[in-house]
């Protein structure tokens, strides 16, 4: 992961516009002077800029100083004569501008454009990322304004860098929530706070259950129930996503073994990120879990989200092929049905293709044509289509009419605990056993 550059910068060449301060030497900070300037500013905005360079720890200190000096030189060429440029003692600098928030945002975009151009220094070309946080000066104390701009900067970092984020109260709530998640998540597995719920998958013709999808939940005693959409990005940043996913795979296979012991021939789908799927021993570890619980491999379905495949396509193809060689079935989740996505289908060794219920809404002729194309391609490749996120009877009927064999969603069955899903199965005595 790219590391932030050290604080401060050496003096850059060229004249300094009037009323713009020079940055002190590396490691120093203009924070006291900056706070005094914010306190006396009648209006305007504060921008906090953080710079990041890949492998910063391997870059010699002298080279980093030269790079940051060049960054400051570029910033000076962008800021106006009435703007204040100051070191923050963090990983970059701040700009205090008397302009309103819209013009300040535009200034932040210009800084991004200038700071992220390649740096040629010491015979080396380096690419730098930048994150900019912006806060308005609206009568709050200077410490509060600086804190708000820094919170916005942190949000820019979390969202992938190379962006400007504008502080607002909702942003602060999100950041506080994120910090709470980062604090509480480590050790959640050891503390027994993880849980799985299961959502049945039904045949759309006979409406009989054919399988379930295991869905991860974090039952935090401090934060309440946390869903995967919020949980997984934090887990990835903390590098604990593997621990969570292997726990989920083990627990899902154990539950599948219990249901199989009762004679039910259902599949169990488990979601896996591409990061875990592409580790070298993923297939062997999966096989070991199946063997430990005596689960027939064809009862397990490993799902990977299509938008996450990206540059790992060749490795994902190899891992999915390895799983199929074990007898495990594979699924492509969150299929976008774009031209490139359809092209991927010819390479991916999958058994199930999951499409969103919005494609079968029958709201437009374009959607109708698109789902027809997806089902047709699936038929040619021997891939079964599952319509997921079905939230209304109309979507269920649209999926059936379009030729989707299976369906999943609130309109058919809601996610529930293993005990409740077991009771749900008992309502279908004709389900394959």
Give the residue with greater pLDDT, 428 vs 258: 258
pLDDT value at 150 more than 70: yes
Residue that wins the pLDDT comparison between 232 and 14: 232
- 3-state SS, residue 351: coil
Q: Report which of 202, 196, 204 is spatially closest to residue 225, judged by C-alpha positions.
A: 196
pLDDT in tens, 192-232: 999 999 999 999 999 999 999 999 999 999 999 999 999 99
pLDDT exceeds cutoff 70 at 362? no
User: Per this entry, what is the length of the chain?
Assistant: 433
Structure confidence at residue 138 (pLDDT): 83
Q: Do residues 95 and 35 make contact, with C-beta atoms less than 8 angstroms apart?
A: no
Give per-residue pLDDT as tens, 231-252.
998 998 899 999 999 999 999 9
Percentage of the chain surpassing pLDDT 90?
A: 52
Q: What is the pLDDT of residues 31-55, one digit of tens each?
A: 888 888 899 888 999 999 998 876 6
Evaluate whether 130 touches 164 at the Cβ level (below 8 Å): no
For residues 132 and 117, give the distance between their C-alpha atoms in angstroms, rounded to a whole number.
15
Please tell me the distance from the alpha carbon of residue 182 to that of residue 154, in angstroms, as a whole number.
Answer: 14
90 CA to centre of own chain: 26
> Average of pLDDT values for 357-365?
66
Which residues, 6 or more positions from 294, have their beta carbon under 8 angstroms from its beta carbon? Answer: 257
368 has pLDDT over 90: no
Nearest in space to 108 (alpha carbons), one of 159, 164, 167, 50:
164
In angstroms, the CA 132 to CA 93 distance is 10
Cα separation values, 13 from 80, 91, 313, Å: 17, 21, 46
Residue 89's pLDDT is 59
- pLDDT of residue 261 exceeding 90, the answer is no
**CATH placement of domain 188-425:** 3.20.20.450
Q: Residue 140's pLDDT is what?
A: 80
Q: What is the dihedral of CA 306, 351, 279, 2, to 10 degrees?
A: 0
More confident residue, 399 or 360: 399
All structural domains of the chain with their residue ranges: 3-167, 188-425
Q: How far apart are CA 233 and CA 238, in angstroms?
A: 9
User: What pLDDT score does 312 carry?
Assistant: 81
Q: What does the mean pLDDT of the chain come to?
A: 84
Rounded (to 5) percent helix, strand, coil in the chain = 45, 20, 35
Q: What is the mean pLDDT of residues 277-287?
A: 94
Q: Higher-confidence residue: 292 or 265?
A: 292
Maximum average pLDDT range among 7-11, 152-156, 184-188, 258-262: 184-188
CATH fold group of domain 3-167: Alpha-Beta Plaits (3.30.70)
Alpha carbon of 201 to those of 9, 173, 211, 334, 387: distances in Å?
A: 59, 36, 5, 15, 9
């Amino acid at each position: 992961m790219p590391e932030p550059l050290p604080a401060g910068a050496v003096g850059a060449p060229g004249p300094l516009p009037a009323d713009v301060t020079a940055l002190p030497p590396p490691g120093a900070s203009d924070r006291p002077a900056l706070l005094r300037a914010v306190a006396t500013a009648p209006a305007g905005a504060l921008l906090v800029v953080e710079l990041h360079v890949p492998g910063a720890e391997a870059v010699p200190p002298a080279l980093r100083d030269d790079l940051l000096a060049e960054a400051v030189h570029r910033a000076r060429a962008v800021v106006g004569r009435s703007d204040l440029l100051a070191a923050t003692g963090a990983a970059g600098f701040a700009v205090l501008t008397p302009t309103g928030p819209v013009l300040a945002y535009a200034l932040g975009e210009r800084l991004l454009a200038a700071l992220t151009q390649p740096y040629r220094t010491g015979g080396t070309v380096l690419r730098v990322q930048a994150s900019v946080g912006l806060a308005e000066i609206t009568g709050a104390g200077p410490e509060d304004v600086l804190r708000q701009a820094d919170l916005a900067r942190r949000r820019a970092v979390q969202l992938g860098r190379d962006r400007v984020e504008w502080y607002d109260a909702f942003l602060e709530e999100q950041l506080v929530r994120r910090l709470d998640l980062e604090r509480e998540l480590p050790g959640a597995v050891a503390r027994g706070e993880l849980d799985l719920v299961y959502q049945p998958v039904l045949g759309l013709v006979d409406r009989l259950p054919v399988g379930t999808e295991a869905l991860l939940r974090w039952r935090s005693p401090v934060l309440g129930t946390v869903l995967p959409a919020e949980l997984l990005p934090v887990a990835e940043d903390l590098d604990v996503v593997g621990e969570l996913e292997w726990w989920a795979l083990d627990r899902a296979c154990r539950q599948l073994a219990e249901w199989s012991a009762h004679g039910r021939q259902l599949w169990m789908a488990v979601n896996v990120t591409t990061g875990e799927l592409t580790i070298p021993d993923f297939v062997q570890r999966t096989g070991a879990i199946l063997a430990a619980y005596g689960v027939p491999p064809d009862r397990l379905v490993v799902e990977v989200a299509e938008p996450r495949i990206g540059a790992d396509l060749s490795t994902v193809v190899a891992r999915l092929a390895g799983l199929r060689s074990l007898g495990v079935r594979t699924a492509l989740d969150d299929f976008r049905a774009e031209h490139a996505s359809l092209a991927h289908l010819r390479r991916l060794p999958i058994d199930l293709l999951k499409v969103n219920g919005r494609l079968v809404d029958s709201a437009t002729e374009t959607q109708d044509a698109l789902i027809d194309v997806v089902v047709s391609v699936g038929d040619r490749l021997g891939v079964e289509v599952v319509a997921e996120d079905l939230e209304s009877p109309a979507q269920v009927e649209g999926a059936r009419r379009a030729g989707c064999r299976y369906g999943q969603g609130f309109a058919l069955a809601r996610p529930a605990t293993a005990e409740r899903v077991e009771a749900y199965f008992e309502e279908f005595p004709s389900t394959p056993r």
